[in-house]
């Protein structure tokens, strides 16, 4: 037993914890899409969003409650911004992607979600002329290239045969969830 403890301490001392946390975060995010696709037709999309927000809030509450209490005056001063972000996030956030699961796979929903951070940076540049540094530009390019590879399944001729169908339209509308993040930059 002592030997295992030393191994664990040795791994932590070598910096394994951040990598384990990254892997855990990726698994949690991926599980969101897998569970949503699995529950498609059982729980309505808005119901999934409600339970996701409720459970997430309850999990984060012990960690966030103190900060919320400390900054309650600031939160109260910007309550309109919080209302706008909440109203935009529910339908434009995962709600649209959950609707898309009527027509597509968890992988496609995950691909759309993966593109969201890059699109947030890109839209803030387009709408507010926020400067983008070279790292952000590289991230946008890598994200777009990765999504393109996944969508085309590494066959460039699939782009030439692309047609717009209802399920692709709904799934692509998941990109609109980027809009909810824009008020943060205002």
How does pLDDT run across 117-134, given as a tens digit for each residue? 777 787 788 888 888 888
The pLDDT score that the predictor gives to residue 185 is 42
Please give the pLDDT value at position 69: 95
Record the pTM: 0.64
CA dist 85 and 148 (Å) reads: 29
Q: Which residues contact 159 (CB under 8 A, 6 or more apart)?
A: 152
Instruction: Quote the CA–CA distance of 102 and 39 in Å, as a whole number.
Output: 10
Residue 162: other Cβ atoms inside 10 A: 10
Residues of the chain with pLDDT under 50: 1-2, 180-181, 183-186
112 burial via Cβ count (<10 Å: 0-12, 13-18, 19+): buried
């Amino acid at each position: 037993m002592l030997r295992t403890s030393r191994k664990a301490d040795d791994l932590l001392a070598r910096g394994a914890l951040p990598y384990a946390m990254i892997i855990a975060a990726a698994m949690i995010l991926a599980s969101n899409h897998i569970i949503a696709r699995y529950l498609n037709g059982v729980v309505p999309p808005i119901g999934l969003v409600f339970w996701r927000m409720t459970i997430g809030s309850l999990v984060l509450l012990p960690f966030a409650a103190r900060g919320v209490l400390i900054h309650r005056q600031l939160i109260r001063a910007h309550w309109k911004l919080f209302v706008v972000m909440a109203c935009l996030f529910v339908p434009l956030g995962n709600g649209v992607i959950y609707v898309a699961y009527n027509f597509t796979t968890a992988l496609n929903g995950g691909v759309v979600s993966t593109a969201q951070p890059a699109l947030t940076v890109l839209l803030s540049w387009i709408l507010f002329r926020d400067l983008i540094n070279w790292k952000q530009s590289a991230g946008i390019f890598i994200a777009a290239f990765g999504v393109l590879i996944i969508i085309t399944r590494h066959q460039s001729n699939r782009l030439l045969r692309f047609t717009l169908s209802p399920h692709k339209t709904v799934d692509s509308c998941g990109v609109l969830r980027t809009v909810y993040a824009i008020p943060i930059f205002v």
